[in-house]
Amino acid sequence: MCIRYGKLSNKDCLDLINLWNRAKLPSKPNGRDTLQNLAKQLELKRNLFLGAFHNDNLIGVVIATHNGRKGWINRLAIDPEFRKQGIASILIKQCEEFFLKADVQVFACLIENWNQKSENLFEKSGYTKYKDVSYFTKRINPEV
């Protein structure tokens, strides 16, 4: 099977949302994950929206972001029909390469405690789980 990897463009935003739905990844379609907001986020140089394509169909996605100090791997999702083929590991590696090109040497991700498969994937990829960290957010509205 031939998988092609590359940056997403505005024309991929609807496919991105559909992939998140197929992968059962929660999203905020009335907030930060509107087509308009995704298109804006795609244009930021500190963001990399990366996709895996099979026959021009989006089957995997990840968003890499950084602030110059730390790189974050966000929204990693693989179509259920294409899991267990190493696609997620390749996407993680490409995020790390993006960070290193920006001279960012700390990579991080947040994984909800119900998502054991993602925890296993990141541990297998060399990431350390910190159990003594608390995550706080403040949201302007529940859709962001």
Per-residue pLDDT of 52-95, as tens digits, reads 999 999 999 999 999 999 999 999 999 999 999 999 999 999 99
pLDDT band per the 50, 70, 90 thresholds, residue 26: confident
DSSP 92-114: HHHHHHHHHHTT---EE----TT
| Rounded CA separation 51/62 (Å) | 7
Q: What six digits make up the tokens of 25?
A: 């990844």
Confidence (pLDDT) at 134? 86
Mean pLDDT of the chain, nearest integer:
94
Confidence (pLDDT) at 108? 96
pLDDT band per the 50, 70, 90 thresholds, residue 121: very high
Whose CA is closest to 103, among 139, 71, 60?
Answer: 71
> Chain-centre distance of CA 59, in angstroms?
13
What mean pLDDT comes out for the span 27-32? Answer: 88
Tell me the residue type at 140: I
Confidence (pLDDT) at 80? 97
| Rounded CA separation 32/49 (Å) | 15
Confidence (pLDDT) at 142? 80
**pLDDT above 90 (res 114):** no
Domains annotated for the chain, with CATH where assigned, are 4-124 (3.40.630.30)
